[in-house]
């Protein structure tokens, strides 16, 4: 049998059980059938079921109690974050206050052509490139690759970036941040990102590319962020505006009291 088949089957079972838990079909505290029963129900081996249950446990969805069985957790240990798309720069600051950061790499290098073009850099200019892992309640939810023009990156240290939100470091350096553009899509986790985020290779991820600009129009930060969709989501609140045929949906800031991040 192709060795790639069983992991794919395990992921399918994982997704089926995760959907049943999310929908309430398997409510908090419910006892899952044993491995033999699940294997028979889904027509797979017990090894495949064990792998699927390992993934559910890794996501904090089940408790496996020796001698008692496997139960749906009464409460997920990681509360997903909600990002307010209508107020980009504000939720960046809020995210920095509410989450932890782990710096994985820090270097000065020639940026990829697409990054250099987005930042409006001259040929030969370098960027300060960092890779960071952001955590909520101690669990990783985003993998961040950031490029900042070298002239700005030289104003902060590796230690600074490991302890202070990047936007705060930019403002400390004298940069005025005026606006940002961002594009959102989806992708699959490669080996390095999957390991950092605690996922299987090929797991779906939310993808965000953001470019932050100074009033002069110069780009001061390029961010490529990959998010676990079970721990992070984007949201926008809309209201009707205009008159007659010109009426349209218009974004408004998400009201206070929510847990936002970016």
Same domain, 59 and 87: no
Question: What does the buried/exposed string (b/e) look like for 43-58 if buried means 16 or more CB atoms within 10 Å of the residue's CB?
Answer: ebeeebbebbbebbee
Interhelix angle 35-42/46-58, rounded to 10 degrees, is 110
Which pLDDT score, from 0 to 100, does residue 254 have?
Answer: 52
**Burial (0-12, 13-18, 19+ Cβ within 10 Å), 146:** buried
Q: Closest Cα to residue 70, out of 91, 52, 97?
A: 52
- Is 115 domain-assigned? yes
Q: How confident is the model at residue 178 (pLDDT cuts 50, 70, 90)?
A: confident
Q: What are phi and psi of 172, to 5 degrees?
A: -65, -30
- Is 123 domain-assigned? yes
- Is 236 domain-assigned? yes
Same domain, 107 and 31: no
Which pLDDT score, from 0 to 100, does residue 262 have?
Answer: 37
72, 94, 119 - which closes a domain: 72
pLDDT tens-digit series, residues 145-176? 999 999 999 999 999 999 888 888 998 999 99
Partners of 222 in beta bridges: 147, 211
pLDDT tens-digit series, residues 203-254? 899 999 999 999 999 999 999 999 998 888 777 777 888 887 778 877 775 5
Same domain, 110 and 150: yes
pLDDT tens-digit series, residues 73-117? 876 545 556 555 555 545 555 555 567 889 999 999 999 999 999
Which pLDDT score, from 0 to 100, does residue 167 have?
Answer: 86
Which pLDDT score, from 0 to 100, does residue 41 have?
Answer: 92
pLDDT of residue 70 exceeding 90: yes
Same domain, 184 and 220: yes
Same domain, 201 and 98: yes
24, 50, 72 - which closes a domain: 72
Write a three-state SS string for the chain: CCCCHHHHHHHHHHHHHHHHHHHCCCCCCCECCCHHHHHHHHCCCHHHHHHHHHHHHHCCCEEEECCCEEEECCCCCCCCEEEECCCHHHHHHHHHHHCEEEEEEEEEECCCHHHHHHHCCCCCCCEEEEEEEEEECCEEEEEEEEEEEHHHHCCCCHHHHHHCCHHHHHHHCCCCCCEEEEEEEEEECCHHHHHHHCCCCCCEEEEEEEEEECCCCCEEEEEEEEECCCCEEEECEEEEECCHHHCEEEEECCCCCCCECC
Average pLDDT, the chain: 84
Q: Are 221 and 171 in contact (CB under 8 A)?
A: no
Which pLDDT score, from 0 to 100, does residue 25 have?
Answer: 85
Same domain, 27 and 105: no
- Is 121 domain-assigned? yes
- Is 66 domain-assigned? yes
Determine which of 152-156, 181-185, 200-204 has the lowest per-residue pLDDT on average. 200-204
Q: Are 167 and 93 in contact (CB under 8 A)?
A: yes
Pairing of strands 232-235, 81-84: parallel
pLDDT, mean of residues 34-49: 93
Tokens of 61: 């969805």
CATH number at residue 50: 1.10.10.10
- What is the number of domains present in the chain? 2
Which pLDDT score, from 0 to 100, does residue 197 have?
Answer: 93
| Cβ atoms within 10 Å of 141's Cβ, excluding its own | 24
CATH number at residue 126: 3.40.1410.10
pLDDT of residue 180 exceeding 50: yes
Same domain, 16 and 86: no
13, 45, 72 - which closes a domain: 72
- Is 261 domain-assigned? no
Give 57 or 251, the one with higher predicted confidence: 57
pLDDT of residue 132 exceeding 90: yes
pLDDT of residue 260 exceeding 90: no
* Domain coverage including residue 165: 81-252
Same domain, 93 and 173: yes
pLDDT of residue 259 exceeding 50: no
pLDDT of residue 190 exceeding 50: yes
Q: Are 187 and 205 in contact (CB under 8 A)?
A: yes
Percent of the chain residues topping a pLDDT of 90: 48
């Amino acid at each position: 049998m192709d060795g790639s088949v069983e992991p794919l089957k395990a992921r399918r079972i994982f997704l089926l059980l995760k959907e049943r838990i999310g929908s309430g079909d398997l409510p908090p505290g419910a006892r899952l059938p044993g491995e033999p029963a699940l294997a028979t129900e889904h027509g797979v081996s017990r090894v495949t079921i064990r792998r699927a249950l390992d993934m559910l446990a890794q996501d904090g969805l089940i408790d496996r109690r020796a001698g008692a069985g496997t139960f749906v957790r009464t409460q997920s240990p990681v509360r997903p974050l909600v990002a307010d798309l209508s107020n980009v720069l504000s939720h960046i600051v809020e995210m920095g206050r509410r989450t932890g950061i782990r710096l994985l790499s820090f270097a000065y290098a020639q940026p990829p052509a697409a990054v250099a073009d987005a930042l409006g850099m001259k040929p030969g200019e370098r960027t300060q490139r960092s890779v960071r892992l952001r955590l909520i309640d101690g669990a990783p939810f985003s993998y961040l690759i950031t490029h900042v023009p070298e002239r700005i990156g030289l104003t902060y240290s590796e230690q600074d970036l490991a302890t202070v939100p990047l936007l705060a470091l930019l403002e400390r350096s004298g940069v005025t941040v005026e606006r940002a553009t961002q594009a959102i899509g989806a992708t699959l986790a490669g080996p390095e990102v999957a390991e950092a985020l605690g996922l299987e290779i090929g797991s779906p991820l939310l993808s965000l590319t953001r470019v932050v600009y100074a009033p002069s129009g110069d780009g001061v930060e390029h961010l490529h962020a990959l998010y676990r969709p079970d721990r992070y989501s984007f949201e926008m609140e809309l209201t009707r505006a205009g008159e007659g045929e010109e009426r349209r949906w218009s974004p408004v800031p998400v009201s206070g009291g929510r847990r936002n991040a970016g």
